[in-house]
Structure 1
Amino acid sequence: MQTPLTTKADPIQQNALENRCGVYGWDTATIVSHKGSDALDLLHRLTTKDLLSVKPGQSRRSALTSDKGRVVDVFLVANVPEPEHDLLLISDSDNSERLISAIDYYTIIEDAELEDMSASSKRISLVGPGARQLVAGMFEVNVESDGAVDLSFAGTRVVIASDTSRGVEWIDVICESENAAEVLEKFSKAGAVEVDAANIELFRIDNEIPGSEKEYGEHSNPIEAGLLDLIDWDKGCYVGQEVIARLDAYDKVQRNVKVLISEVPLGEGTKLSSSGKPAGVVTSASALQTESGTFLSLALVRKAFLDSATVLDADGVATTVR
């Protein structure tokens, strides 16, 4: 029986993401237009971040939680300068209907209208320390940290939004689907390295960036899912606020997101244990071998096993907490 070939991470793509600029075209992502004079106030009252201070030309990522304190979705709110009261909501999720339904449920008399643009628009992400410089050179516009710009480029409307919430330089570019290939090509010619889904997933895991329907979702609250920076504790009420506040105040959160290192790739959903005791669950797993010859995963790990170098059992595979 032949030993299966191991797929290794692409060093050129990983280097671009870490040190230069990688460009990733999403196959599916939620892109929703939210218009109306009450749209920003409504989102402020529903989600975990203070959004009233997001002025035109700015962006901010926030989480929408259920009344049980579980994560419904996480999305970037880009307050584009033109037209007036036009917000663009950008989520990693491929389930746009869930986000629209959740917001629409609480829209009663507000002047706010949602439009799903996921099918007609394309999301392109520029990731890496050279992202803003590349945008400045290509579009002749300076995008500030957590800034949003609306312009015309290559015959299409383009919205550019910076997102600092992930802990890495990250800029989302939204354009019409029919013009996406041309925009992607121009990014490549400008010096960005095109990256594939497997390599950006490894980068996400390595940088401990929580993923949609992986680390966060209806199965987790934002504290344990690594979204603590998306919560403004003094902003007042939002959906699920009381539950989340109690979890924090009484130290009831039992899990945290951690990177795991193993000699073989793990499977998502694999249960973790230590001496027969439940220790957590693998939520994201990369099948790409790193330069050091190991494999990386993300897991929701119980508090008793969070210390670095703790060895856990993943269905017979030894894995180490990083």
Structure 2
Amino acid sequence: MESSIGNQQIAAMRAVESKFALYDRSHWGLIKITDRDCLRFLHNQSTNNFLSLQPGQGCDTIFVTPTGRTIDLVTAYVHDDAIIILVSPKRHKFLMEWLDKYIFFADKIQLNDITESNAIFNLIGPGSDELVTKLGAETLIGKPYGTHQVFSSQGLEDLCFCVGSGLAIPGYTMIFPVAHKNSMQEILLEYGAVKMSENTWSMLRILQGRPMPDQEITEEYNPLEVGLWNAISFNKGCYIGQETITRLNTYKGVKQKLWGIHLTAPTTPGSLITIGQEKVGKLTSYTTTVDGHFGLGYIRTKVGGANIKVEIGNVQGKTVKVPFISHDYPKI
């Protein structure tokens, strides 16, 4: 099976398991929110609690529609004078317009799309601590997810190191001026990082269960169905979509859930998932892996959870938990 995915993909996956890989995330989007009301504004427009955050802290949060349907999962970093949000590919222009329409006359808010002026790298793997130590950012080791700090390193300035790889794997996110991109990549590769292709990252994010727009994140699904409990605060005040999400949690009303699915053969996203003659869900993503075939799909809650045997056409499957998401109701 290893030969079917290519030697470079195999090398990157092994680096993730034992050392560290480098993923260029610069095609994702960056939005900078500034002015007096930026913290309150993002608190009111997304699912997590921003009023409890201090500069140097960060978190994942979700933008949802007024009916509680998922728009995007983003990571926000609170700075002294701004909040930087890292958004999914091809989502920054939409979210700029989405946020702008909720700015009212009295709000002191400025939105800036800073995607083109910055680069984004992920360091993914258990050896990432060793690498950030060499880069002079060792003070971040052991800090909570989303903690971030701006450093100068290797003659390069304005390097923002952030705890978290974007997956449920140890690592870091780096955000820095695009002018440093080539130099920083050379430095990281010299220190032993293995470069990860987009195809390999896609394989890894499916194995991890990281949802993506137009696949797992669409207006068909709400964040509780996706399993993004850690990005939702149930103790904060009102925000867009809050009533629907609170009601679903209160009455345990999650009708379908996202699961990983071990598959016996290739199949196509969008295909129906069945048990016998009963339609129980839909496949949203598929990848070939070093161990076989794997997918993500939504399956009705009433038919069960992990270790359920399913079919996608003529392909057999078995549901499994994936580490990035959870389907356990939190203790509030």
Q: Would you call these one fold, judging by a TM-score over 0.5?
A: yes
In structure 1, the residue matched to 2:95 is: 99
Match of residue 313, structure 1, among 311, 314, 323: 311
1:219-273, Cα deviation, whole Å (9 max, x unpaired):
2100011211111111121110001111122222111111111122222211111
5 Å-filtered alignment, 1:96-175, equals: 96-108=92-104, 109-143=106-140, 144-145=143-144, 146-153=146-153, 154-163=155-164, 166-175=167-176
Cα offset for 1:60? 1.2
Q: Give aligned-pair identity as a percent.
A: 21
The aligned residue for residue 222 of structure 2 is 221
Partner residue, 1:205: 206
1:46-61 pair list within 5 angstroms = 46-61=45-60
What secondary structure sits across from 2:225 in the alignment? Answer: coil
Superposed, 1:225-304 pairs within 5 Å as 225-286=226-287, 288-290=288-290, 292=291, 294-304=292-302
Distance (Å, rounded) in 2 between the aligned partners of 1:278 and 1:256: 14
Tell me how far apart the structure 2 counterparts of residues 129 and 264 of structure 1 sit (CA, whole Å).
31
CA contact (8 A) 2:124 2:165 kept: no
The separation in 2 between residues aligned to 1:168 and 1:155, in whole angstroms, is: 27
Which 5+ residue runs of structure 2 have no aligned equivalent?
321-332
Quick one: which amino acid aligns to residue 147 of structure 1? T
- Given residue 73 of structure 2, which amino acid in structure 1 is its aligned partner? V
Tell me what 1:13 maps to. 12
Aligned match for 2:85, one of 82, 89, 95: 89
Extract unaligned runs of 5+ from structure 1.
Answer: none
- Name the CA shift for 1:274/1:180 in 2 (closer, same or farther; >3 Å): same
CA offsets, 1:264-307, max 9 Å, x none? 22222111111221111111211x332x3x11111111113343
Q: Secondary structure at the match of 1:171?
A: strand
1:30 aligned partner, one-letter code: G
TM-superposed deviation, 1:97 = 1.2
CA shift, 1:164, in A, is: 7.6
Shift in Å at residue 141 of structure 1? 4.4
One-letter amino acid of the structure 2 residue matched with residue 100 of structure 1: M
Query: RMSD between aligned alpha carbons?
Result: 2.0
Preserved CA contact (<8 Å) 1:165 1:230: no
Alpha-carbon contact 2:255-2:300 (below 8 Å) kept: yes
Code of the aligned partner of 1:52: L
1:156 Cα offset (Å): 4.7
Kindly tell me: are residues 133 and 50 of structure 1, through their superposed partners in 2, closer, same or farther at Cα, counting changes over 3 Å? farther
Task: Answer whether contact 1:73 1:212 (CA < 8 A) is retained.
Answer: yes
Following superposition, which runs of at least 4 residues in structure 1 exceed 6 angstroms of deviation? none
1:170-181 paired onto structure 2 within 5 Å: 170-181=171-182
